[in-house]
Structure 1
Amino acid sequence: MTKLDEKLARIRAGKYKRSDFIIADAKDGDMGAGVLGAAPKRAPDGTRLRGKTRAEYLDDIEAVVKQGIVDVMLVSASNLELLHERGVFKKSKVKPVIRANDTTDCWGLVRHGVYPKLASRPFRTASLPRVMYNAAAPLKAPGAKKIYGTDLGLYSITMMNDLDSDLRTMEAFRDFREEAALNGFKYFLEVFNPNTPHNMEREHLGEYINDSLLRCLAGVMKADRPQFLKIVYNGPKALEELAAYDPDLVIGILGGGGGTNRDTFELLHQAERYGARVALFGRKINQAEAPLTLLTFMRKVTDGTITPEEAVRAYHGELQKLGLKPFRSLEEDRVITEEPLKKGMLKAA
């Protein structure tokens, strides 16, 4: 049993405690970029030296797994293969998962690319039978053979509020569920906000995503439903609405852009407060001055032993001890910059 299995079991049984909050590190940047998929290698004063190599990226992933604070490590299928060759997960309770598809809006870090400006289209690189069993085709008896890579992956959809685009996305999602069932593969579902103009006010996005998500799962029976969700935090109202509508849905939020460290800690705090039970952060961890130190305080925030404001101050104190120059001054790093988080602060007040 991994930590993820244990925590999901308690959450579904109605026995959730704050220590059951699930933290995932999204180290799947290579699925959307090339050389820049990993965080840059920096000097202690923060100066960017160069892009990290693939081997250095794998070293970073291994360090996070060994630290043991996260519950889930999300990587590309090709990097998972190399991590298994290193024996990274052999004695770990951290669950390895892969990005099972790579929609075109995930290609945003390709240098000189124009993909983020275009409406997202569904696409898949990873082969499920290869990831699960190192086989070219589904086994006749899924589950009869030892798992080669992993039996869990992230499937991503982007709702565009456009009939042709969303129909194509839903058809691809249906095909994926059918292939997953043939292979005995489980998944969690990521739902992105539209990546191009969407004919809605910003405050309406949460309602649109909630309705779209529930609609696309309405015809899906338990055997084919996602293990949990990963959605954009569109503010406390939208998150509370979704959590209250169907308690059987385990809701997770994604980290989004870099932002300040107060944004990072505040997002965790508000997500847990308003009904999320999972957080999947990529850039917020990957691009931090000291990712392992940041993860330590992320866990303290979700456990409720420290406030987001206190976490920022403590994190800066640890950076000083490590001899690392912060990217922002303490005063700058204490500022909440993301609009949904500002709304959450107003609601709490």
Structure 2
Amino acid sequence: MYRLDQKLARIRAGQYTRSDFIIADAKDGDMGPSITSCGPKRAKNGSWERYYTRPEFLENIRAVVEQDIVDIMLTSASNMEALIEMGVYRNSAVKPAIRANDTTDVWVGRGATYVKHPSRAFRTASLSRVATGTIDPAPGAPITGTDLGLYSITFNNDIDHDYAALDAFADFRDDAARNNFKYFLEVFNPNVPCGVEADVLPHYINDSMMRSLAGVMKADRPQFLKIAYNGPRALEELASYDPSVIVGVLGGGAGTTRDCFELLSQAERYGARVALFGRKINLAEDPLAMVSFMREVANGTLQPAEAVKAYHGALQKNGITPIRDLAKDSEVTEKVLMAG
């Protein structure tokens, strides 16, 4: 049994403690920015001349999995396959998951302008291939890959685009049911101007999200949600509305180290039970140290400001030059976090 399954069971049973907070490393950037998503290959002095190659990136993922702190490792289907072939998940308590769809608003490669248009749905990964390695698996075929994926949807208050997105989501749920495939649902903030006032927008997203699930029975519902943190009020509203729905937050931009720990702390305080951070881990000077202190913050053994100091201490010990000095790195720079 993966550690994720044990934590989800306790959360659903109303037995949550802070040690049950779920941390996921979102290393699925090759389904978005592609080559640049692997991150710059930094020397200890902070200099860099190129991005990590795919083989190097896979070794970075191996290191996080073998550290055995995160509960989920989210990757593309192709990278999950490579990691399995490398033996990375053998006897591991870390659950592999794949990005199960790749909408146009995550296609943000160099020079691309797709993100300037309302999100459109499409899927690359084959669920049956991801789960069992075959296109037409026999009933009860063993899981050779993973049975968990991320499905994302973006509501833009645009009836044509949103209708098409909801239709694609329904098709995905049918495909997932046929393949005994589980998913968690990522709901992005609108990726284009949508005509909803800024103070109402977080509640528009909450309403749209729960409306999209209202007609979906338990067997076809997501394992949990992944949403942008839109402040304490919106998160509390969502987390308290339906206790059967587990809420998680996405990491967004890299920000400062304090931003990372502050987001984690506030999200847990206002009802989130999952954090899925990509750039906040991948672009850190020392991703393994960042993950380690994220766990400390989630557990409540360190406050965000204390964790920043401890992280800088770890960088100094390892001879790594920080991107920002301690004072700058201790600042909260993301506006939404300043209200918490």
Summarize the alignment of residues 144-155 of structure 1 with structure 2, pairs less than 5 Å apart.
Answer: 144-155=140-151
Q: How does 1:45-194 map to 2 (within 5 A)?
A: 45-108=45-108, 110-137=109-136, 139-141=137-139, 144-194=140-190
Residues 172-230 of structure 1: per-residue CA shift (max 9 Å, x gap): 00000001001110000000000111112322221011000110000000010000000
SS at match of 1:73: strand
Which letter does structure 2 place at the counterpart of 1:292?
Answer: L
Residue 34 (structure 1) shift: 2.6
| 1:247 and 2:243 are equivalent in the alignment | yes
Question: What amino acid sits opposite 1:38 in the alignment?
Answer: C
Alpha-carbon distance in 2 for matches of 1:261, 1:34: 24
- Structure 2 distance, partners of 1:201, 1:335, is 28
Tell me, yes or no, if the aligned pair for 1:43 and 1:49 is still in contact at 8 Å. Answer: no
Please give the alpha-carbon distance, in whole angstroms, between the structure 1 residues aligned to 2:185 and 2:306.
32
Aligned counterpart, 1:202: 198
Task: Give the TM-score of the pair, scaled to structure 2.
Answer: 0.99
Q: Residue 4 of structure 1 contacts residue 72 of structure 1 at CA under 8 Å; is this kept in 2?
A: yes
Corresponding letter in the other structure for 2:123: R
| CA shift digits 1:261-292 (9 cap, x unpaired) | 10000000000000000000000000000000
Alignment equivalent of 1:303, drawn from 278, 281, 299: 299
CA distance in 1, matches of 2:35, 2:218: 40
Range with bigger deviation, 284-293 or 314-323: 314-323
SS of residue paired to 1:49: coil
Q: Could you list the per-position Cα deviations for residues 217-272 of structure 1 after superposition, in whole angstroms to 9, with x for gaps in the alignment?
A: 00000010000000000000000001111011000000000110100000000000
How many corresponding residue pairs?
340
Structure 1 residue identity aligned to 2:122: F
- Structure 2 alignment gaps of length 5 or more: none
AA at the equivalent of 2:119:
S
Instruction: State the partner residue of 1:14.
Output: 14
What secondary structure, in the 3-state scheme, does the structure 1 residue paired with 2:163 have?
A: helix
Residue type at the aligned position of 2:14: G
Query: Which residues of structure 1 form unaligned runs of 5+?
Result: 345-349
Indicate the RMSD between aligned Cα atoms, in angstroms. 0.8
Provide the C-alpha distance between the structure 2 equivalents of 1:322 and 1:12, rounded to a whole number of angstroms.
Answer: 40
> Does the 8 A contact of 1:191 with 1:231 survive in 2?
yes
Amino acid in the other structure paired with 1:10:
R
Give, as a single letter, the amino acid of the residue that structure 1 aligns with 2:70.
V
Amino acid at match of 2:120: R
For residues 51 and 326 of structure 1, the distance between their equivalents in structure 2, rounded to whole angstroms, comes to 18
Equivalent position to 2:218, from 213, 216, 222: 222
Q: CA deviation at 1:49?
A: 2.1
Which position in structure 2 is the counterpart of 1:34?
34
Q: Are 1:321 and 2:332 counterparts?
A: no
Question: Could you say what secondary structure the match of 1:50 adopts?
Answer: coil
Q: How much does 1:140 deviate?
A: 4.8
Q: Is the Cα–Cα contact under 8 Å of residues 156 and 191 in structure 1 kept in the other structure? A: yes
Q: Give per-residue Cα distances to partners, 1:144-183, cap 9 Å, x unaligned.
A: 1111210000000011111111101000000000010011
Query: Equivalent pairs: percent with the same residue?
Result: 63
Alpha-carbon distance between aligned partners in 1 of 2:35 and 2:24, rounded to the nearest angstrom: 23
CA distances 1:51-78 after superposition (whole Å, capped 9, x unpaired): 1100000000000000001000000000
Match of 2:283 among 252, 275, 287: 287
How many Å separate the matches in 1 of 2:142 and 2:98? 17
Q: Which residue of 2 aligns with 1:347?
A: none
Q: Provide the C-alpha distance between the structure 1 equivalents of 2:114 and 2:17, rounded to a whole number of angstroms.
A: 41
Amino acid at match of 1:297: F
Runs of 4+ in 1 over 6 A off after TM superposition: none
Q: In the aligned structure 2, how far is the partner of 1:66 from the partner of 1:175?
A: 36
